[in-house]
Amino acid sequence: MTTQQNSAAAIRSADQLAVLRARRGSTVKTALHGVGLIVVLFGTLFPFLWMVLTSFKTGAQITATPPLVFFEGTLDHYRTILGDQYNVGQSLITSLIVSVSATALAVLLGTPAAYALARFEFKRKDDLWFWFISNRFMSPVVIILPVYLLASQLKLIGNPGLLIAMYLTFSIPVVVWICTDQFRSIPRELDEAAMVDGASPAFIFLRIALPLALPGVVVSSILSFIFSWNELLFALFLTRGSGVTAPVKATSFLSGYDVPWGEIMATGTLIVLPVIIFSLLVSRHLVQGLTMGAIK
């Protein structure tokens, strides 16, 4: 009787021990998981936060060792870069005009093309699709050389229209890639029903297919806008003087011997902050857009 009780107690305590062990194991695991998440979060955010922090430091505070985390901030760098000497405000406006125009044109030209690729049958359709997509892979370096030569002969260097046209080399493919998939996902029966009713292809595209493909249009516009806003290579060689885009302006501060760190970081903050706020607002769409077109 007693031995039985004893062994039962032993079994119970062994069970409890196992449970305790498992629980301790999972506590350790949970703790490590939390630490890992904090490390990832810190690593992701640190460069961005450090830039913003630096933009509010005085020159002496920036070069201080150890680096300062708490300090009395200043807005001087922002005043300087928005003043006449640096004129970053104008570059931001140029960037905005160029990015919005390139995106709008890409949607205007790209969505009908995507619709045709998704819906109609014609010869060499696959090759055409591949040609659109392959532009996404083409290095801008390949076209910047001839475009620079042609534009200097035609005295087009510095013309924002030229830059917008060059941005179409990547924004049209993005729109075509994402929207072709989107149009394919819409049931064909909807088009066919409208066709039976005598609707023209243009009407079907504009009134039936396009509204249903709106998520794809939104996602590809977001991507096209961000790509254009962030672009450097074309802008570096095709804009100049007061017509440069914001990324080109930011690199121009590095040329002197004395690097104006505060001004550079303030400019960097003004360039990335709007895009980051915008991206956080649409983050769900953005992630979807990065995978759409690439994942089926």
Partner 1 sequence: MHTQKRLTPFFFLAPAVVILALVGIYPLVFAAWVSLHNYLLAQPNIPHDFVWLSNYLTVIRDSSFWGSIGRTLFYLAVALPLEIVLGLAIAFMLRRGRWAHLRGFARVMLVIPLAMTPVVTGLIGRLIFNQQFGVVNYVQTSLSSNKIGTEWLGNPTLAFVTILVLEIWQWTPFAALIFLSGLTAVPAEVEEAATLETRSFWVMLRSIQLPFLLPALTAILILRTADILKQFDMVYTLTSGGPGSSTELINLYITRIGLRGAFDQGVASAQALLMLVLTTVLSRLYIRYLYKGDNA
Q: Is 37 in the site for partner 1 (CB under 8 A)?
A: yes
Contact with partner 1 (CB under 8 A): which of 10, 142, 154, 193?
142
Please give the size of the binding site for partner 1, defined by CB under 8 A: 99
Site residues (CB under 8 A) for partner 1, limited to 239-268: 247, 250-251, 254, 259, 261, 264-265, 268
At residue 150, the 3 state secondary structure works out as helix
CA distance 218 to 63: 43
CA distance 292 to 296: 7
Site residues (CB under 8 A) for partner 1, limited to 153-182: 165-166, 168-169, 172-173, 176
Asked if residue 167 lies in contact with residue 231, where contact means CB atoms within 8 angstroms, the answer is yes
Contact with partner 1 (CB under 8 A): which of 74, 90, 159, 279?
279
Contact with partner 1 (CB under 8 A): which of 186, 231, 239, 244?
231
Q: Is 191 in the site for partner 1 (CB under 8 A)?
A: no
CA distance 296 to 41: 30
Q: What is the DSSP string of 191-226?
A: HHHHHHTT--HHHIIIIIIHHHTHHHHHHHHHHHHH
Which residue is associated with the tokens 């933009």? 55
Asked if residue 80 lies in contact with residue 263, where contact means CB atoms within 8 angstroms, the answer is yes
Between 9 and 276, whose beta carbon lies closer to partner 1? 276
Between 10 and 18, whose beta carbon lies closer to partner 1? 18
Q: Is 225 in the site for partner 1 (CB under 8 A)?
A: no
Q: How far apart are CB 223 and partner 1 at their closest, in Å?
A: 10
Interface segment toward partner 1; rule CB under 8 A; list 4-12, 79-87, 137-145, 213-221: 137-145
Instruction: Look up residue 41 and give its DSSP letter.
Output: H
Task: For residue 275, give Cα distances in angstroms to 48, 95, 153, 201, 279.
Answer: 13, 12, 35, 37, 6
Between 225 and 243, whose beta carbon lies closer to partner 1? 225
Site residues (CB under 8 A) for partner 1, limited to 193-222: 201, 205
Q: Is 135 in the site for partner 1 (CB under 8 A)?
A: yes
Contact with partner 1 (CB under 8 A): which of 6, 7, 13, 134?
134
Contact with partner 1 (CB under 8 A): which of 143, 156, 194, 212?
143
Between 20 and 41, whose beta carbon lies closer to partner 1? 41
Alpha helices in the chain (DSSP H): 2-55, 59-62, 76-82, 88-119, 125-137, 140-153, 160-184, 188-196, 201-203, 210-212, 214-230, 233-238, 246-252, 261-281, 283-291
Between 74 and 278, whose beta carbon lies closer to partner 1? 278
Instruction: Look up residue 69 and give its DSSP letter.
Output: S
Q: How far apart are CB 204 and partner 1 at their closest, in Å?
A: 10
Q: How far apart are CB 74 and partner 1 at their closest, in Å?
A: 17
Site residues (CB under 8 A) for partner 1, limited to 71-130: 108-110, 112-113, 115-117, 120, 122, 125-126, 128-130
